[in-house]
Amino acid sequence: MSIALIILAAGKGTRMESDLPKVMHELGGAPLFAHAWNHGRALEPARTVIVAGHGAALVETAARKIDPEITVVVQEDQLGTGHAVAQARAALEGFDGDAVVLYGDTPFTGEKTLARLVEARKSADVVVLGFEAADPGRYGRLVMEGDRLSRIVEFKDATDEERAISLCNSGVICAEAATLLELVAEVGNDNASGEYYLTDIIEVASMRGLTATAVTCDEAETLGINTRGELAEAERIFQARARREAMANGALLQAPDTVHFSADTVIGRDAIIEPNVVFAPGVTVESGARIRAFSHLEDCHVSRDAVVGPYARLRPGTELANGAKIGNFVEIKNAQIGEGAKVNHLSYVGDATVGEAANLGAGTVTCNYDGVMKHRTTIGARAFIGSDTMLVAPVTVGDEAMTTTGSVITRDVPAGAMAIARAEQVNKPGLAVKFFARLRAIKAKKGK
């Protein structure tokens, strides 16, 4: 059976006290709605529809980045969840399969739970995801008659008896897509909020002789984000899960609570992660690599047995080959560092290719920007770059070539050659003493 995802992401999120749409706030370096999408894609959906509203253009741009095949539709007026699902009608025209409704502000509903939801659809026309709430509060209640779900009642509209029910509604629903849209079309807004509730489709389905049931999950999977405080709590939960998963897969985190992951971070087996490391989005660290303390990595690839840091920064586009070494206070950007190459101290390497076993001395800088355009530096295999060398791009240093300490390299260096590009030293006897004596005299005169 084909699956379509409908991700509801239209809410403004007033309680976030932000100009951003609620679902654009980040969790693990990714927009909130991307987490719902990521879990949902385990169902291998044939179509994905995001229903946006406030800030729809921002949501659409972000959605296109994670999956160009996503369809974004706009709910111009926020008239309830039922009305939101109805906006997906045109996007699902001709679709033959089940639809699963997810929520862009509910990031933890897991793949296994969604698989059980879809499996339950084989024996019921509509399946709702519920949970036993420790404090049911203002959640909607699932009214069950044995295995049959007879209705969902919103807290505002519930009787005292119904409010005593602890089985609550997560909002996640699975039904045949055409049936779901037919049911939504029959939902009215005669309720305390004057909205079209998606939950009302259960009563509509019952009146049409259709069956409904519920599957349950842990309450933690239903955590919705409405405030900055809830977002911070969700980040804490996400980070704890990411750390546990990394260690379960064989990585060593020396001080787990100090390591910060992103939603797409990949850490290989036997990789060692020292304290206070930040993985921004887009990072892969292969097996056996070591990321030393206080390093920051973003959109980069670290190959086997490479070493990074301490206090290193790998920026987008960085590729470290096997056994490469990036040392303390080194910044790499949009550069490929060859196998066994070393950039050990206090250097900036941007827009560059560094060959295998090359050695870049302390203070090496690839001068890649002329104020308008970026230019590339190429350093050959086994080249030696002396400390404090400025490589003014575009420039190439050949294989096994060398630059001397303090050189400013503006022309290509042939393979095997030594480049010396610094002014001749001149010593002036006694001039230092005279110079400082003059400066002290000037200072004393000003002090009077």
**Cβ-contact 2, 236 below 8 angstroms:** no
- The answer to the question of residue 448 being in a domain is no
- The answer to the question of residue 436 being in a domain is no
Exposure of 437 in the CB half-sphere (CA atoms within 13 A): 5
Q: Which residues contact 380 (CB under 8 A, 6 or more apart)?
A: 355, 358, 396, 397, 398, 399, 400, 401, 415
**Cβ-contact 434, 444 below 8 angstroms:** no
Domain check: are 173 and 241 in the same one?
A: no
Q: Which domain holds residue 396?
A: 228-419
- The answer to the question of residue 430 being in a domain is no
- The answer to the question of residue 439 being in a domain is no
Last-in-domain residue among 170, 189, 222: 222
Give the pLDDT score at 448.
Answer: 65
- Give the CATH number for residue 7: 3.90.550.10
CA Rg value for the chain: 30
Q: How big is the chain, counted in residues? A: 448
CA distance 166 to 187: 25
- The answer to the question of residue 424 being in a domain is no
Give the pLDDT score at 295.
Answer: 98
User: How does pLDDT run across 225-252, given as a tens digit for each residue?
Assistant: 999 999 999 999 999 999 999 999 999 9
Domain check: are 236 and 268 in the same one?
A: yes
Domain check: are 96 and 163 in the same one?
A: yes
Give the pLDDT score at 293.
Answer: 98
Last-in-domain residue among 175, 203, 222: 222
Please, what's the b/e burial string for 204-236 (b: 16 or more CB within 10 A of its CB; e: otherwise)? Answer: bbbeeebebbbbbbeeebbbbbeeeeebeebbe
Of 337, 103, 360, which is closest to residue 224 (Cα–Cα)? 103
- The answer to the question of residue 27 being in a domain is yes
Active site residue 39: no
Which residue stretches of the chain have pLDDT < 70? 448
- Number of domains within the chain: 2
Domain check: are 354 and 218 in the same one?
A: no
CA distance 281 to 296: 11
Give the pLDDT score at 194.
Answer: 82
- The answer to the question of residue 104 being in a domain is yes
Q: Which member of 35, 54, 260, 345 is catalytic?
A: 345
Give the pLDDT score at 193.
Answer: 78
Residue at 1: amino acid letter: M
Give the pLDDT score at 156.
Answer: 84
Domain check: are 311 and 388 in the same one?
A: yes
Domain check: are 377 and 290 in the same one?
A: yes
CA distance 176 to 98: 4
Domain check: are 168 and 281 in the same one?
A: no
Domain check: are 26 and 121 in the same one?
A: yes
Last-in-domain residue among 222, 240, 260: 222
User: How does pLDDT run across 187-238, given as a tens digit for each residue?
Assistant: 988 877 788 989 899 999 999 999 999 999 999 999 999 999 999 999 999 9
Domain check: are 196 and 247 in the same one?
A: no
Phi, psi (rounded to 5 degrees) for 161? -65, -40
- The answer to the question of residue 169 being in a domain is yes
**How many C-beta atoms lie closer than 10 Å to residue 426's C-beta?**
5
- Give the CATH number for residue 332: 2.160.10.10
Domain check: are 185 and 269 in the same one?
A: no
Domain check: are 161 and 240 in the same one?
A: no
Domain check: are 254 and 397 in the same one?
A: yes
